[in-house]
A and B are shown apart, each in its own frame.
Chain A
Amino acid sequence: MKLFQVRMTWKGSSAPQFLNRHFYQVDVYPEPGYPMGRKGKVFADTWRQIPDNMKPKYDGMLVIEGDVLIDPHDYKQMLKSIESDVNAVWTAPVKVWPITSKFDDWFWCHWATMPSQTLDEYPLRFGYNFTYLPTKLIELAIDAGWENWDYWNDDSEMPIVAMKNQIKVKVPEDCYPKHLHY
C-alpha cells in the first residue's frame, strides 16, 4: 500500500503536531473572488502535480485538515484500515461543532441518513477531516469538476461521486481524531 498523504491548512488555522511531518502540506489561501479559498482546486492541483508515471504507485490520498489532531494510535488504525481495503473511502469519526454547522449541538461528520451523535458504521456522507480517498474516486472527482467545488459545497460533492460510483465508505475502528474547530 502506498499513500499520498496531504495535510490541508487554511491560512491562519493550523494545529502544530509532530505527526504533521508524515504529510505534504497544502495551503488554501483566500483569493480575489474566493475569500474562503478554493479548496477543491487546491486538492485537484495537488493530485495533478504528481507526475503521471508516479500516480499508479499510489493507492489513494490520505487527507488531514489543519485543525484536526491525531495521535500515533489514530494514524496506525487508519493505515491498518486502508490496508484492509484500499478501494474504499475510510473516514475517521470527527465531531462537527455548532460554530460551523449552526446546529444546537455537535454531530458526527459522517452519516448514512441524517447527521447525528450516533456513529453510523456504513455512512454515505463524510467530511475530509481525516479521510482516505482511493485513486479511483479522486480521478472520478477530477472528471466531475473537483476543482470547482469550493466553500460551501467543497466537502459535500465528494460523497455524491462516491455514491454514484458505488464506492464504499468505511469507518476505521478505534480512531478518534480531535477536531479543534469549536
Chain B
Amino acid sequence: MAEILSVRTVFEDENAIDQMINRRFYTLHIPRSEEYPFGRKGKMFVQAWKQLKGDADNNDGMLVLDGDVAIDPHDYKVMLEAIHNNPQMVHTAPVKIWPISTKRPDWVWGHATEEDRSQVNHPNPKYFSFCFTYLPKALIRKAIEKGWKDWNYPGADKPISELAYDMKIPVNVVNECRPKHMNY
C-alpha cells in the first residue's frame, strides 16, 4: 500500500467547501500578503512537504485537494486505488475549469494534451490542474530543486505539469472520480 500525504489548500478569505472528507487532509492555509496578494502557493507546498516530512522513506507522494473542490467517499476511494496501483505516476481527477477562471466562453477540462485546453477528455494529458491530484515523490523532489517555492499565481501549477512531462512521468486521468469544482 502506498503511503501518501493528503493536503487540502485553502486560500485566505476563500469560501472553502465544508465537507466531511476534509478531515482526511491536512489543511494548508495560503495567506495573502502585500507583496503576494494571491499568496505563495508554491512556497506553501514546499514548506508543507518539508514540515510533514514528505521525503521520508515510507512516503510515496502527496494528494492535493483544492478548497473549492467537492469530492465524496467514492471519489476518494477510486483515487486511492489508482495511487496504490502505481504511486510513481501523477493521478489527476477530471475537473471542469469554469469561464470565471479561464475567461473562455465555456468550461474546459483541467487536464489537456496541449496548452490550449478543451472539453475533450484526453486519457494521457500533458497538463493537469491541482484540483484533486496526486503528485509522486520524485516529481515533488525535482520541483523543489527547480524552484517550486517561487511558482506563484498565475503560474503556480503549470510548471509542475511541464516538469512531469520532461521527467517522462505519465499522467493518469482517474475517470471514475467526479469531483465538483465550485469556482464558477
User: Which A residues contact B (CB, under 8 angstroms)?
Assistant: 15-18, 69-73, 95, 97, 106, 176-180, 182
8 Å CB contact of A69 from B74, B96, B180: B180
B141 interfacial contact with A, CB 8 Å: no
Q: Give per-residue flags for B150-184: 1 if the beta carbon is below 8 A from chain A beta carbons, else 0.
A: 00000000000000000000000000001111101
Q: Are A72 and B184 in contact, CB atoms less than 8 angstroms apart?
A: yes
Tell whether, in the assembled complex, residue B184 and residue A97 are in contact, meaning their CB atoms are under 8 Å apart: no
CB <8 Å contact, B184 and A69:
no
Instruction: Out of B18, B70, B184, name the residue touching A18 (CB < 8 Å).
Output: B184
Q: Which of A15, A72, A178 contacts B72 (CB 8 A)?
A: A178
Known A71-B98, A178-B71; 19 more pairs at CB < 8 Å: A18-B182, A69-B182, A71-B96, A71-B181, A71-B182, A71-B184, A72-B98, A73-B107, A97-B72, A97-B73, A106-B73, A106-B74, A176-B178, A178-B178, A178-B179, A178-B180, A179-B72, A182-B20, A182-B21
Interface residues of B in 40-68 (CB under 8 A from A): none
B179 — nearest CB in chain A belongs to which residue?
A: A178
Q: Give the docked Cα–Cα distance between A73 and B109 (Å).
A: 12
Top 4 nearest A-B pairs by Cβ distance? A178-B180, A178-B70, A69-B180, A69-B70
Is B19 engaged at the interface, CB distance under 8 Å to the other chain?
yes
1/0 per residue, CB under 8 A from A, across B84-102: the answer is 0000000000001010000
Asked if B124 is at the interface of the complex by the 8 Å CB criterion, the answer is no
Task: Give Cα A89 to B72, complex, Å.
Answer: 26
Distance in Å: Cβ of B128 to nearest Cβ of chain A: 19
CA distance A15 to B72 in the complex (A): 14
Using A71-B96, A179-B72 as known contacts, say yes or no to A15 and B184 having CB atoms under 8 A apart: no
Is A15 within 8 A of B18, CB to CB? yes
* Structural contact, B18 and A95, CB atoms closer than 8 A: no
Contacts A18-B182, A18-B184, A180-B19; A73 near B96 (Cβ below 8 A): yes
Closest residue of chain A to B181, judged by CB? A71
Q: Is the CB of B74 within 8 A of A95?
A: yes
Most interface-central of B18, B70, B96, B181 (chain A CB within 10 A)? B70
Q: Assuming A95-B74, A97-B73, A180-B19, is B182 touching A17 (CB within 8 A)? A: yes
Tell me whether B181 and A95 are in contact (CB under 8 A).
no
Residues of B within 8 A of A176 (CB): 178
How would residues 5 to 26 of chain B score, 1 for a CB under 8 Å from any chain A CB and 0 otherwise?
A: 0000000000101111100000
Chain B hits for A70, CB < 8 A: 180
Give the residue among A17, A70, A106, A176 with the most B Cβ atoms within 10 A.
A17
Residues on A with C-beta less than 8 A from B181 are 71
